[in-house]
């Protein structure tokens, strides 16, 4: 991997996790710690991260977490359409798993008036949004706090789903590939995403078209388990056919 490619992956990971240690990045990318420190110095010059003892953190975290602001605010018009469309598939007296992220948050805003829902989520902001509704029962996982997505992640979050059953899962991803992979910037999310998938009868993947054919550092080979892909009109016919061959029903939010 070229240095510039490595730095792009590093900033993607920090944007997703909020911070990263030099030792972890060194092991992950199989380069020396001095090389990683040089990478972080160059990235820091852009103003998005700041270095501290042993690593670096996302500068916006200190303001976004207290205000419960999510980090990924691009393509919000598409995410709002997808969230509203996904809400049409939710009925009263249903048990749902809601993943973290901006698109699933938009879904959550559209279901506050649906009665007798049981929600299981790893998202702090979704729990606060829906937990305020007297007709909605909210359960949260444990796990490691991830600031940019206001979520709980890792193995402890995953074990919460042991022996859990839900009617529907509304899942997020950083990207999907034609070869059947759900992609994410880092590895910590993979166990909890897999646990969510294993616990649900029906799986709805919510992603805007800019994430289609988007690779990332970590991948989960589970796209074939997705029942529905809710996206926008930007999906190409070629991609649509490729995912339909995997048995996925495509739903367009317009």
Q: What is the CATH number of the domain that holds 229?
A: 3.40.50.1360
At 72 the pLDDT is: 65
Domain assignment present for 19: yes
Domain assignment present for 71: no
How many whole angstroms from its chain centre is CA 32? 29
At 42 the pLDDT is: 93
Pair (203, 105) in one structural domain: yes
Pair (31, 105) in one structural domain: no
How many whole angstroms from its chain centre is CA 248? 19
Tokens standing for residue 40: 């972080």
Pair (179, 225) in one structural domain: yes
Q: From 7, 45, 49, select the one nearest 148 (Cα to Cα).
A: 49
For the chain, percent of residues with pLDDT exceeding 90:
70
Domain that holds residue 8: 3-59
Alpha-carbon span 198 to 192, nearest angstrom: 10
Q: From 64, 94, 108, select the one nearest 206 (Cα to Cα).
A: 108
| Confidence check: pLDDT of 71 > 70 | no
Alpha-carbon span 62 to 59, nearest angstrom: 7
Pair (109, 51) in one structural domain: no
Contact 74, 37 (CB under 8 A): no
Pair (152, 36) in one structural domain: no
Pair (102, 224) in one structural domain: yes
Query: Which of 59, 86, 103 is the last residue before a domain boundary?
Result: 59
Alpha-carbon span 167 to 165, nearest angstrom: 7
Pair (229, 180) in one structural domain: yes
Q: State the pLDDT confidence band at 215, using cuts at 50, 70 and 90.
A: confident
Pair (104, 218) in one structural domain: yes
DSSP string, 222-245: -GGG--EEEEETT--HHHHHHHHH
At 14 the pLDDT is: 86
The enclosing H or E element of 219 equals: strand 218-220
Half-sphere exposure at residue 227, Cβ-oriented, CA atoms within 13 angstroms: 13
124-175 confidence digits (pLDDT tens): 999 999 999 999 999 999 999 988 889 999 999 999 999 999 999 999 999 9
């Amino acid at each position: 991997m070229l240095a510039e490619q490595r730095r792009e992956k590093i900033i993607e990971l920090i944007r997703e996790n909020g911070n990263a240690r030099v030792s972890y990045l060194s092991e992950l990318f199989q380069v020396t710690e001095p090389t990683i420190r040089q990478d972080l110095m160059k990235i820091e010059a852009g103003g998005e991260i700041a270095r501290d003892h042993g690593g670096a953190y996302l500068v916006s975290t200190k303001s976004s977490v207290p205000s419960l602001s999510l980090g990924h605010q691009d393509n919000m018009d598409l995410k709002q359409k997808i969230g509203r469309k996904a809400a049409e598939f939710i009925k009263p007296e249903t048990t749902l798993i809601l993943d973290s992220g901006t698109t699933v948050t938009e879904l959550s805003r559209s279901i506050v008036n649906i009665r007798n829902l049981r929600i299981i989520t790893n998202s702090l902001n979704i729990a606060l949004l829906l937990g305020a509704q007297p007709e909605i029962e909210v359960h949260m996982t444990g796990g490691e706090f991830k600031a940019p997505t206001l979520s709980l992640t890792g193995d402890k979050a995953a074990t919460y789903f042991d022996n859990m059953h839900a009617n529907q899962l509304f899942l997020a991803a950083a990207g999907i590939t034609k070869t059947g992979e759900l992609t994410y910037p880092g590895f910590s999310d993979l166990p909890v995403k897999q646990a969510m998938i294993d616990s649900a009868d029906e799986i709805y993947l919510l992603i805007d078209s800019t994430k289609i054919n988007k690779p990332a550092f970590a991948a989960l080979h589970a796209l074939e388990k997705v029942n529905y892909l809710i996206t926008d009109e930007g999906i190409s016919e070629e991609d649509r056919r490729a995912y339909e061959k995997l048995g996925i029903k495509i739903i367009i939010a317009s």
